[in-house]
Structure 1
Amino acid sequence: ELYNWRADVRPNVVGKFRSGGEGDMTGGEWSRTNPTGNVLLRATADLTPALIARAIAERLKKLGLDADTTARLDRQLAILDGAQHTLQVLQTEGSGAERLPWFCSGCPHNTSTRVPEGSRAMAGIGCHFMSIWMDRNTIGFTQMGGEGVPWTGQQPFSNEKHVFANLGDGTYYHSGTLAVRQSVAAGVNITYKILYNDAVAMTGGQPIGERPEGLSVVQIAQNMRAEGAKKITVVTDQPEKYEGARAQGLPEGIAIEHRDRLDAIQREFREIEGTTVIIYDQTCATEKRRRRKRGTMVDPAVRVVINELVCEGCGDCSVKSNCLSVEPLETEFGRKRTINQSTCNKDISCVKGFCPSFITVEGGQLKKKAKTKSGVSPFELGALPEPTLPQAQPGGAWGIVVAGVGGTGVITIGQLLGMAAHMEGKGIITQDAAGLAQKGGATWSHVLIGASQDDIRTTRVSAAAADLVIGCDPIVAVNPETVSRMREGRTHVALNAYATPTAAFVKDGGWQNPAARCAVDIARAVGEAGVASFDANTVASKLMGDTLYVNPMLLGYAWQKGWVPLERASLLRSIELNNVQVENNKAAFEWGRQAAHDFERVKKALASLGEQPIQLKPRETLESIVARRAEFLTGYQNAAYAQRYQAFVEQVRQAEGTLGKTSLSEAVAKGLFKLMAYKDEYEVARLHSDPAFLARVEGMFEGDFKLNYHLAPPLLAKRNEKGELVKAKYGPSMLRNFRILARLKGLRGTALDVFGATSERRTERALIGEYRASIEEVLKALNADNHATALEIARIPEQIKGYGHVKDRNLKAARERWSALLAQWRDPQAAALRRAA
């Protein structure tokens, strides 16, 4: 009826347009032509409190308010404008660091979501959806129960013959069977990979189905057979558990295969017409961890250790495992890999990386660092002065944002703060923003503390309204979600100066840790005086034995700074009520206080362990680079071999000295060493039997344990379907063989070298001569103008890394770059013309 009223009396809906009168329909995204984009409230994406507040303020200002009210509104708008400007500056000029969610360490999806080369998969509901931003050619997204359904409409218009579709077990039970049923009815060529993880992992680990015992693989197989699937195979990491499965009802003709054959099985299935099903059975890694802690699942006494001197830093272990627990390790010989024992869930897929550096330690357990190992407890360092506790503005709330990595206890810190405030009778609201956080992504806990509950008017810390940010991870702390809450002059940041590697390292072996740049960005947001930081990871791991204590340590740090409006007794009591590692968490809180009050005390405690609080890398000089590598080559072969290395580097140094530089000499010193110290059987044996390495392993583990080695000797190893050598496990007796083989290094390159006749060894020896020849050519015409190109040529060996087929692949790419650089060197003008064309 209102539409029949005259325009001058008809009620108007406000909010579409920012400018003009109520009848002005010329601007805004709601207008037909959208000439200005001048919209009051956007019609897409979420509406934040800041956006709504700005819209309301602008409408109110048009109503002829008094000067005082208008000034107050302008001040608040200025604050929002300042926060928005800072955010825009950091987004365009900042580090750009991002912590992308990823599969948990040891997650079944790391393996199960892979597809063969030349195939693609369709995504669906569940953790496995994250595969769309990984290197596994997975696209699309559907509602729950729509997995694979779009292919029914696509196939008649596509040259593709087949696709895979990922279907989680929880979705399968909910409505996924209908998707399979329609594919069977439509007769399309599709393989459903039903990812059976033994739990609805994304929503809390509930059992699959309605019954307490859950839904079994056998029942799913029976159902899929009844639905008319052309072929069904069960793929699992534990085929042995299916002994007797026929008696339990597993239909005839359904094979049980090890997950190592997944690629071959998928290649077979994509050639079958109709709907096929692969049931991938492997328990969720997070559930395994929980059950092991509860004692309801056997915790296998096995750990993976990487010998960093054997490691080439090729990253094939990350390719094979897709695992976040494989982390970068910076060494004097370049970046290698190491296993984060705190986060490892013992999937052991990383050992499939084609590299002999991996050993598995069976039996025994990791040594626990005693709390008193440093000889001092934080409680024994003397009483600390009590800080003056802050107070929220009258009628307002003290806003705290805890920012960090999901699964590390960020939400727990929010809960501790909330309980402490509750015990003090204060108003409190906590809200957690998790998303895919448990999968290594960013997570936040918003905490608002007021004198009374009536003083809290929002459920989250508003834009530019954080009084404290506890930055458990600098990358999450610089995330726009966090920075938007900061305001110079108001916000204090207690920052962990260490950033754990992100998922970007899995995809990019050259990833650089952005922690230092993040700290600079945060200082730009809150001012230098608003930030206080220390390397909480190093302190927690060295003094507490585990990085899990980083967050309570940072809480203590922020409290001692006078940035937390709660009594120490309340916080410690809250830790007690949480009833998890109570004494250790209290100690971590106190160590944080010590770090805030006098970091020298913490340094002394670390020194008593023989540890340095800050890992300082001494500045390398050409002399130190050459001396260390000459010493290594003497052990590798002999003094004469090392002398040849030193003599060539000296030749380069003299040629470059006329330019007053040493960077080319340093690059050649590193590059030539890498080629001369190629890791053949003798060298791998020497490094694995090195007493220093064995002592390091002894220092990591206690109890009765043995070492296994994962190797693919070219003369003994089998090959897979691709023709690549396959690693096998060799027991402790291999150490004795290593010691014998290491003593035979003098045979290297002689007629008696039984290993030296392989194509890989011949290529490695030839590369040394090729590299020296290239450098000698460069030295003949070296000048200031072409020095940069010479440096690139000298660094080519950095790209030649790995073993076997991995090294061959890298060498092929390196040779292409090598040839291009030499062509540029020989004819720079022609090279410039080719680039311009």
Structure 2
Amino acid sequence: WEAGKRAPRVVGKFDDNGEWSRAEGQPAGTWLLPAHYEHNPAIVARAIATRLEKLGLASQLGAQFKERLAFLDFKDEALAKPRVTTIRQPYFCSGCPHNTSTRVPEGSRATAGIGCHFMAVWMDRSTSTFTHMGAEGAPWIGQAPFTKEKHIFANLGDGTYFHSGLLAIRAAVAAKVTMTYKILYNDAVAMTGGQHHDGPLDPAMISRQIAAEGVTPIVIVTDEPEKYPSGTNWAPGVTIRHRDELDAVQRELREIPGVSALVYDQTCASEKRRRRKRNAYPDPAKRAVINELVCEGCGDCSAKSNCLSVEPLETEFGRKRTINQSTCNKDFSCVKGFCPSFVTVEGGQLKKGKSGGRAAGDDFPALPEATPASLDQPCGVLVTGIGGTGVITIGQILGVAAHLEGKGVSVLDMSGLAQKYGAVMSHVKIAASASDVHVARLGTGDARLVIGCDLVVTANGDALDKMDAGRTRAVVNATTSPTAAFVTNPDWQLPGSNLQHDIAEACGGRNAEFVPAAELATALMGDSIATNMFMLGYAWQKGWVPLRREAIERSIELNGVAVEFNVKSFLWGRRAAVDLERVRRIAIPAEVVAIGEHFSRNLEELLERRVKFLTGYQNAGYAARYRALVERARATEQGRVGGTKLAEAVARYYAKLLAYKDEYEVARLFIDGAFAKKIEGMFEGDYQVKFHLAPPLLAKPDPRTGEPKKMQFGPWMRGAFTVLARLKFLRGTALDVFGRTEERRMERALIGEYERTVETLLAGLTRENHAVAVEIASLPETIRGFGHVKAKSVEAARRKQAELMGRFRAAPARAAA
């Protein structure tokens, strides 16, 4: 109450200074609660505390009140500090139709709308803006008369089309604008969980509806043109084209006045996966595999597929690519990458984890029963991870297990776009009785246990906020999984050590344990989906979970999905908590480690490995040529500067240029036995390996891009490879028919250029320009790929070298001045 007034003063959105000032129409006061984003318990608590202090009541609430406010301030300050971090941005699922369907031709743009395809706005797709459901494309009706732009594409999901999107199409036709609606038919309401449409809908029905509205022409684009039965009731004039022609179709449609439509028909990748598990959708016995020794790490496969299942693979010879078979949805767009490293394995099936298949306890001691964590206070459990990997399932398992024990429990899933490989968190509160659970969401510092199934999400500010140093225990999956950034940036690096440091600091010292859970669980069980249950088992065996083992296993049974698989995964996690090294040896036997070997630890190892490799590549004389330059670099560097950084760069990248992957080398790398062992280790049953190549004398150029088209070759190609590999002695001679191509001449020229560059660096090497010299010697790292892909990278590398050589020559002059 204000002094001298009978009515109370009401303070609402703003503090006591009021909402509006008389100057400039700006608020005089400050917001009591933020007007944007969401209000978490800490924000609300501060607002209440501020009012209590204003009313003089804070002193009556005791020390606990002040301690809590001080803790909130401490967490805010800690999270405000600069950190090297990254985010787990939502993205199209592996094999998602939108990876292809949302592309537009050069010079065109598209507008987004409601649905998974909205995520195209943060990709390199020339796609912007969005509307409420049912207004997709409608803004163009108002824009068109006031711009020189003649045409746009408007993306419209099938669920939105059925709901109200047809009205926007009707409005566009009535307005007589020129645009193309891309109706993205994926046979499911994919964004919200794959539900069926609210009524009957298929591409033929869509074609008849929009034709009746006056849309023409109408083109159906699909990955399976053959799937439509003869006699399908299409609208008159409808044409059907393969998705490989998408760019050409769009270029044709954008030149046609009026409203046209492209119906892109390809089933949602996640729905394919779900239906295949129920045997309700065809599951081709076919897998894509990459020969990492042939792979150049250029990323063209990612550019072609936009797929998250194409992952980085660090090797002795640099970063390569591998296909994550656990997440692959068999779209096979990655095979279109201009690279001979891809094969498809047809027939047979993936081997399951041998260790995971053994009867429990066969060669592992019986495990002690852990004592469940006490519940003298409610226990907050935060489960973090990547959407679509079973994070929410862990929350459900814990919730049901607590219910079976008669405990109070709440489970709150923070999913957002998590189904699209984004960040997901499950907030679980377990208490002795239901009356002790007051709020479902974990507040600042409320997590007593963190099960971090993904390093990136666990190190996110929202997760760190829930941790309390000295009180929170955490088990975190140390096996890194690439974020969406890797799809467009082949050199993407996860700041793993920084993320681990942030988590350990938030939990307090040794309260956080980092376990290569995904690596071990996949090796043991044959599928990375075992990871999260493995981690739950680890946390339980540590005594950090306030539930009995029997209740958790019963909860897994009641869930009714892959019961035996999940119980075994839980058991292996428990075993890892007791003897991690023993589990590691079982998961990754010594013979596998020996085959993979370790990365070179010093210059001597690096040199000897490449001498051996180059001897196999060509002959001992070729290897001797390599050794001579590296030894000169080592001697000069030691004499003038000290250290081995320059010599290591020369050793690594001179070998890379010398061992250019011509037809003889690709053949050798396919028949040397290592790749055959890899395939044998991955697959069982009756299978065939087929190769995807673009031989320079056989491959026909794409009429639109001019790039050679890849062709598929059967198992007989191994015989051809054997003959070709034996002809490596022709390399560089007058009889080398392949060596006459522009690409091979460029590769041989690069070797000579590099040798001359290194000699120049050695002649002018000083302490002042040493770092630049290392950078110049390392430039071949950026030269990657085959054909036109490699040619572009060579041009970029030469431009960069010209710039760096200027700095190299200038450094001694600056030092002298």
What interval of TM-score do these two structures reach, taking the shorter chain for normalisation? over 0.9
**Matched residue, 2:751:** 768
Does structure 1 conserve the Cα–Cα contact (< 8 Å) formed by 2:769 and 2:812? no
Does structure 2 conserve the Cα–Cα contact (< 8 Å) formed by 1:378 and 1:590? no
Instruction: Pick one of 52, 58, 64 that aligns with 2:50.
Output: 58
Pick which of 568-577 and 380-389 moved more. Answer: 380-389
**Matched residue, 1:784:** 767
**Matched residue, 1:670:** 652
Provide the C-alpha distance between the structure 2 equivalents of 1:609 and 1:824, rounded to a whole number of angstroms. 48
1:494 to 2:500 alignment: no
Q: Secondary structure at the match of 1:142?
A: coil
Instruction: Pick one of 637, 647, 650 that aligns with 1:656.
Output: 637
Instruction: Pick one of 257, 260, 263 that aligns with 2:247.
Output: 263
How far did 1:28 drift? 9.6
**Matched residue, 2:777:** 794
Unaligned runs of 5+ in 2: none
Matches within 5 A, 1:545-564: 545-564=526-545
Does structure 1 conserve the Cα–Cα contact (< 8 Å) formed by 2:18 and 2:27? no
Change (3 A) 1:71 1:30: farther
Provide the C-alpha distance between the structure 2 equivalents of 1:571 and 1:676, rounded to a whole number of angstroms. 57
Does structure 2 conserve the Cα–Cα contact (< 8 Å) formed by 1:414 and 1:430? yes
Residue type of the partner of 1:280? Y
**Matched residue, 1:159:** 148
Matches within 5 A, 1:350-389: 350-371=334-355, 377=361, 380-389=364-373
Pick which of 122-131 and 262-271 moved more. Answer: 262-271
Does structure 2 conserve the Cα–Cα contact (< 8 Å) formed by 1:316 and 1:354? yes
How far did 1:751 drift? 1.3
Matches within 5 A, 1:697-708: 697-708=679-690
How far did 1:372 drift? 5.7
How far did 1:514 drift? 2.8
Residue type of the partner of 2:535? L
Does structure 2 conserve the Cα–Cα contact (< 8 Å) formed by 1:409 and 1:551? yes
Change (3 A) 1:456 1:202: same
1:336 to 2:320 alignment: yes
How far did 1:551 drift? 1.0
Provide the C-alpha distance between the structure 1 equivalents of 2:741 and 2:506, rounded to a whole number of angstroms. 59
Matches within 5 A, 1:386-397: 386-393=370-377, 397=378
Q: Secondary structure at the match of 2:234?
A: coil
How far did 1:545 drift? 2.1
Change (3 A) 1:162 1:66: closer
**Matched residue, 1:287:** 271
Q: Secondary structure at the match of 2:739?
A: coil
Change (3 A) 1:216 1:463: same
**Matched residue, 1:582:** 563
How far did 1:235 drift? 0.4
1:189 to 2:178 alignment: yes
Matches within 5 A, 1:217-232: 217-232=203-218
Provide the C-alpha distance between the structure 2 equivalents of 1:644 and 1:599, rounded to a whole number of angstroms. 46
1:16 to 2:16 alignment: no
How far did 1:787 drift? 0.7
How far did 1:542 drift? 2.1
**Matched residue, 2:793:** 810
Does structure 1 conserve the Cα–Cα contact (< 8 Å) formed by 2:287 and 2:344? yes
Provide the C-alpha distance between the structure 1 equivalents of 2:334 and 2:7, rounded to a whole number of angstroms. 70
Provide the C-alpha distance between the structure 2 equivalents of 1:209 and 1:391, rounded to a whole number of angstroms. 46
Change (3 A) 1:186 1:201: same
Q: Secondary structure at the match of 1:276?
A: strand
Provide the C-alpha distance between the structure 1 equivalents of 2:362 and 2:434, rounded to a whole number of angstroms. 35
Does structure 2 conserve the Cα–Cα contact (< 8 Å) formed by 1:95 and 1:521? no
How far did 1:682 drift? 1.1
**Matched residue, 1:692:** 674
1:177 to 2:177 alignment: no
Provide the C-alpha distance between the structure 2 equivalents of 1:79 and 1:722, rounded to a whole number of angstroms. 60
Deviation string for 1:738-757 (max 9, x for gaps)?
Answer: 11111111111111111111
Instruction: Pick one of 424, 446, 455 that aligns with 1:474.
Output: 455
How far did 1:63 drift? 2.7
Does structure 1 conserve the Cα–Cα contact (< 8 Å) formed by 2:340 and 2:692? yes
**Matched residue, 1:25:** 18
Residue type of the partner of 1:15? G
Instruction: Pick one of 377, 385, 405 that aligns with 1:424.
Output: 405
Does structure 2 conserve the Cα–Cα contact (< 8 Å) formed by 1:688 and 1:738? yes
Change (3 A) 1:830 1:321: farther
Change (3 A) 1:713 1:561: same
How far did 1:80 drift? 1.4
Change (3 A) 1:730 1:309: same
Change (3 A) 1:611 1:579: farther
Change (3 A) 1:380 1:30: farther
**Matched residue, 2:718:** 735
Does structure 1 conserve the Cα–Cα contact (< 8 Å) formed by 2:370 and 2:540? no
Does structure 2 conserve the Cα–Cα contact (< 8 Å) formed by 1:307 and 1:357? yes
Does structure 2 conserve the Cα–Cα contact (< 8 Å) formed by 1:469 and 1:493? yes
Change (3 A) 1:202 1:646: same
Q: Secondary structure at the match of 1:330?
A: strand
How far did 1:6 drift? 12
**Matched residue, 1:835:** none
How far did 1:160 drift? 1.8
Provide the C-alpha distance between the structure 2 equivalents of 1:631 and 1:301, rounded to a whole number of angstroms. 38
Provide the C-alpha distance between the structure 1 equivalents of 2:336 and 2:540, rounded to a whole number of angstroms. 46
Deviation string for 1:175-216 (max 9, x for gaps)?
Answer: 111111111111222111100001111122222341xxx311
Matches within 5 A, 1:509-548: 509-548=490-529
Instruction: Pick one of 239, 243, 246 that aligns with 2:225.
Output: 239
Does structure 2 conserve the Cα–Cα contact (< 8 Å) formed by 1:373 and 1:609? no
Deviation string for 1:694-727 (max 9, x for gaps)?
Answer: 1211221111111111111121111111211111
Unaligned runs of 5+ in 1: 833-837
Q: Secondary structure at the match of 2:689?
A: strand
Change (3 A) 1:203 1:7: farther
Deviation string for 1:329-362 (max 9, x for gaps)?
Answer: 0010000000000100000000010101000011
Q: Secondary structure at the match of 1:467?
A: strand
1:456 to 2:437 alignment: yes
Equivalent residues, number = 811
Deviation string for 1:643-695 (max 9, x for gaps)?
Answer: 11111111211111112121111111111111111111111111112222112
1:709 to 2:691 alignment: yes
Q: Secondary structure at the match of 1:399?
A: strand
Provide the C-alpha distance between the structure 2 equivalents of 1:209 and 1:761, rounded to a whole number of angstroms. 58
How far did 1:376 drift? 6.6
How far did 1:110 drift? 0.5
Deviation string for 1:467-493 (max 9, x for gaps)?
Answer: 111111111111122111111132211
Change (3 A) 1:346 1:293: same
**Matched residue, 1:131:** 120
Deviation string for 1:755-786 (max 9, x for gaps)?
Answer: 11111111111111111111111111111101
Q: Percent identity?
A: 55
**Matched residue, 1:755:** 738
Instruction: Pick one of 426, 431, 450 that aligns with 1:445.
Output: 426
For the aligned residues, what is the CA RMSD? 2.3
